[in-house]
Structure formats: C-alpha cells, structure tokens
Structure 1
Amino acid sequence: MGKITIAIDGYSSTGKSTVAKQLAKHLGYVYVDSGAMYRAVTFYAMQNGLITETDFNKEALIYQLNKINISFKFNEALGFAEVYLNGNNIEKQIRTLEVSGFVSKIAAVSEVREQLVEQQQQMGKDKGVVMDGRDIGTVVFTDAELKLFMVASAEKRATRRYNELTERGDSVTYEAVLKNVVDRDYIDTTRKDSPLVKADDAIEIDNSNMTKDEQFSKVLQLAIMTVEGLE
C-alpha cells in the first residue's frame, strides 16, 4: 500500500494530536506534532526572559532562533516521540497552561514560522507522515493527499483540556482554561501570517460529541479510502 501525507489542522484542544498519534501508529507513519515545535520555542523564550505577561522581546527571540534546536525522540514506553530542546526532554514542561498562554504570540512571529515550516517540510518530504497543527494543509503541505480540519465547541474543548491538566496534577481552574481556549482561537484566526483557516479541500470533523474511538474510526476510514483511491 502506497504512503500519503496526512495534514490535520484545527482549533486548540480538538484532539488533533491524539488522533494523529493513533493514526500514525496504526499506519506505521511518522508523526510530527508541529504545535510542540512552537511550544518548544515558547518555552525557550520563557526560560530566557524573552516573554512575560507584560513584555515580549520579539527582536531578541528572532536573533536567537539559531540557538534553538528542536528534535523528536521516540519513547517506546509511551508509544510516541517526545520533544527535545537543545538536547533536553521538555515534553512535560511545554504542556502547561502557562506555555499555552504565550504560544499563539510566538507562533504569530513570521521569522519563527518560516524556520519551523522549513523543518516541517523536510520531515515530510518522503511522505508516510501525519502532521497536525494550524497551517499544515494550507502552508506546510498544500499538496497533502488527505487534509482534515478538526472543530469542537469552546466549552467542550475547555472541559477536555481542564480534565487533562488536573489529571496530571496541574492546579488550574476551568474558567482560566476556557479563557485560554477562547484567547488562542482569536489570535490563531486573526494573525497576519498563516492564520488558522480551513483549506478548501479539507474535510471538516466536528468531534464535540464523539468519543476518541469514534473519532479514530472515522479518520482511519478516510485515510484508507484516500490511499485506495490513489492506487
């Protein structure tokens, strides 16, 4: 069976990464979490005092981009690749609400996007890749054979994210998570460089009332139909 490129875009906390990981594992494809790459840059900026609640030194971040080395290393125990920043595992650190609060601002910087998009395109040059993010189908892989666009209500997404954070021990409130979801939606859809939009040839999936199994079953069926249609 031939290999294709699968681009999964959508709003924050719509389960893009979850279904992308499932799909990649089932098909034997490479999985790339593009959002984790932007989170890694955000974490770097936070660690180096380049972004705070009151200030964002965009010029300094752009100047230091060549110091940021992002890589993925597969963890057999977890079943997916974890994110490394300059050789250090930062998988857990980049999933906090604090990082979520800054990541859309970092992702809006054209120089950051340009560098990461180039890396992402290199990762998918041989096909057999599942990549999720905000602009995968519209910018990174415009010729992807299968493009999906995930949506769900802000309340549903906030509930999922809140449960995820509290289950791992983070101290957050539902109200703070919901505000983060709404704020990120606004920034992602209104930024000048590569805003979040549905590609004309993308298939929209509203998973507001879907279980993870139902979502995976639907997406897998679409992937198989796409591959079979090209043979």
Structure 2
Amino acid sequence: MNKITIAIDGFSSTGKSTVAKQLAKHLGYVYVDTGAMYRAVTFYAMENGLIGDDDFNVEALIYQLPHMEIAFKFNETLGFAEVYLNGVNIEKKIRTLEVSSFVSKVAAISQVRHKLVEQQQRMGKDKGIVMDGRDIGTVVFPDAELKLFMTASAEKRAMRRYEELTGRGDNVIYEDVLFNVQERDRIDTTREDSPLVKANDAIEIDNSNMTLDEQFDKILSLTKMTLESLE
C-alpha cells in the first residue's frame, strides 16, 4: 500500500497532537510534533536566560542554534515519542504555561524556523509520516497528500488546556490560559515568516463540539479516502 504524508495544521490547543498520535499509531506511521521542537528551543532560551517577560536576546539565541540537538525517542511504556534536547528528556518541562507564553515569539524568528523546517523535511522524506504544527501544509510539506486544518473557539481551547494543566497538578487560572491562547493566535497569524494560515487544499475541521472519538473517526475516514484515491 502507498504511504502518504499527512500534514495537520491549526491553532493551539485544538488537539492536533492527540489525533496525530492516534492516527500515526493506527497507520503504523512516524509521528512528529513540530510544536514540541519549537518548545524545545524556547525551553533552551529560558534555561539560558535569553528570554523573559521584559527581554529577549534574539541574536544570542540565533548564535546558539547550532548547539541545540533536538530528537524524538519512542517511549514504549507511554506509547509515543518524547522530546530530548542535547540528550536530556524535556518532555514534561516543555508543556508548562510558562513555555507556552514564550513559544510563539521564538517561533516567529526566521532562523529558528529555517533550522527546524530543514530537520522536519528530512524526517518526512520517505513519507509514511503524520506531522502537526502551524506551517506543515504550507511550508514543510506543501505537496502532502492529505492536509488538515484544525480549529475551535478560543474558549473551548482554553478550557481544554486548563483542564490538562490542572489535571497534572499545575496551579493555573483559566483567564490566564485563555489570554495565552488568544495571544498565541495573534502572534501565530500575524508573524512575517510562515504565518498560520489554512492551505488552499486543506480540509478544515472545527472540533469545538466533537468528542475525541468523533474527531478520530472523521480524520481516519479522510485518510482512507486519500489512500484509496492513490491505488
């Protein structure tokens, strides 16, 4: 059977990673969470004092990009690949609201995007991959056989993120999470380099009122239709 490239783009907290993991596992494909790659660079910047509430040393971050090695290593117990930065597992550390508050600023830097896009394209050169992010269908894999664009209301997305964070013990306020979601939307859609936009040939999926099962079934059906069209 032919293998295809599946590009899943969309706004933050729309469940892109969740459905991408499900789909990759079901198909036996490689899954790559590009958002985690940008979070890894952001975490590096935070840990090295390059970014904060009132300052961002962009030049220093660009200079240190060659010293960042980002890798995904499959965890059999968890059933998905975790993110490593320079050999250290940072999967849990990059999922905080603090990292979320800075990641869109880091992702807006052209040199950061160039470095990560090159790596992402190498990962998908043999197809059989599900990749999610902001510019997968428009920049990373413009020729992907199946492109999806995930969306939902800001309030729905903020509540999902809030429940995820509080569920693991983080002390956060819903209003702060909502502000973060809205601010990330603003930065992601207005940045000069590879802004978040729906590819012309992408299928939009608004999952505001969908269950996870309904979402997966819909996307799996679209995937099967795409695969059948290539036979």
Tell me if both proteins adopt one fold, taking TM over 0.5 as the criterion.
Answer: yes
Residue 29 of structure 1 corresponds to 29
Structure 1, residues 118-170: CA drift from partner, whole Å, max 9, x if none? 00000000000000000000000000000000000000000000000000000
Structure 1: how far apart are the matches of 2:96 and 2:136?
23
Alignment of 1:1-231 (within 5 A): 1-231=1-231
Q: Which runs of 4+ in 1 moved over 6 A?
A: none
* Shift of residue 2, structure 1, vs aligned partner: 1.0
2:162 maps to a residue whose letter is: Y
2:82 maps to a residue whose letter is: E
* Other structure's SS at 1:64 match: helix
Structure 2: how far apart are the matches of 1:209 and 1:22?
19
Structure 2: how far apart are the matches of 1:108 and 1:10?
16
Structure 2: how far apart are the matches of 1:124 and 1:181?
29
Number of corresponding residues:
231
Indicate the RMSD between aligned Cα atoms, in angstroms: 0.3
* Shift of residue 27, structure 1, vs aligned partner: 0.1
Structure 1, residues 41-78: CA drift from partner, whole Å, max 9, x if none? 00000000000000000000000000000000000111
1:88 maps to a residue whose letter is: V
Identity %: 80
Structure 2: how far apart are the matches of 1:17 and 1:169?
21
Structure 2: how far apart are the matches of 1:221 and 1:123?
25
* Shift of residue 6, structure 1, vs aligned partner: 0.1
* Other structure's SS at 2:38 match: helix
| Unaligned residue ranges in structure 1 (runs of 5+) | none
The two structures have a TM-score, normalised by structure 1, of 1.00
Structure 1, residues 11-45: CA drift from partner, whole Å, max 9, x if none? 00000000000000000000000000000000000
| Unaligned residue ranges in structure 2 (runs of 5+) | none
